[in-house]
Amino acid sequence: MSSTDYNKWAEKRVDELIHSQVKKDNCYDEELIREYLIFAQYSRKGDALINFFKENNNDSNLFKVIIKILLDESEDYSNDARYSAAGVIHLFNLEILRKHKKELLYAQKYELINLRPFSDKNIPNWLHEGISSEI
């Protein structure tokens, strides 16, 4: 597939994803969220998918799917969705992030820097508060 063909295919897929039903009965479709994450990074139209996460940054159910994807260390999937999940975590509401401190601390220790939810220069102070008593 040429890069032109790939770009056309990817743009078409992003359009399909944007119009798909990603949530049913307050539950997110994990496979669709994985695709949102992947295409948010690799498509010219990825900003539309990033906007989805920005617009839903107060949705704790969506965050639970994102953190589940980030922490999925199985070899059932490539790491593309995980890298992107790490990249959108900072978009979420602070209250939601604080509720998942344990998972975020775990992810922050990943050897692969791209899987860490926060860059070393932007680690929130609250993430390490009280760490000795919690671990």
Q: How far apart are CA 53 and CA 85, in angstroms?
A: 10
Q: How far apart are CA 4 and CA 55, in angstroms?
A: 30
Structure tokens at 87: 């990249």
pLDDT digits 0-9 by tens, 72-108? 998 787 789 999 999 999 999 999 999 999 999 999 9
pTM score: 0.87
Ordered by start, the domain boundaries in the chain are 3-134
Among 56, 26, 25, CA closest to 36: 56
Q: How far apart are CA 77 and CA 22, in angstroms?
A: 19
pLDDT digits 0-9 by tens, 1-17? 787 888 888 888 888 88
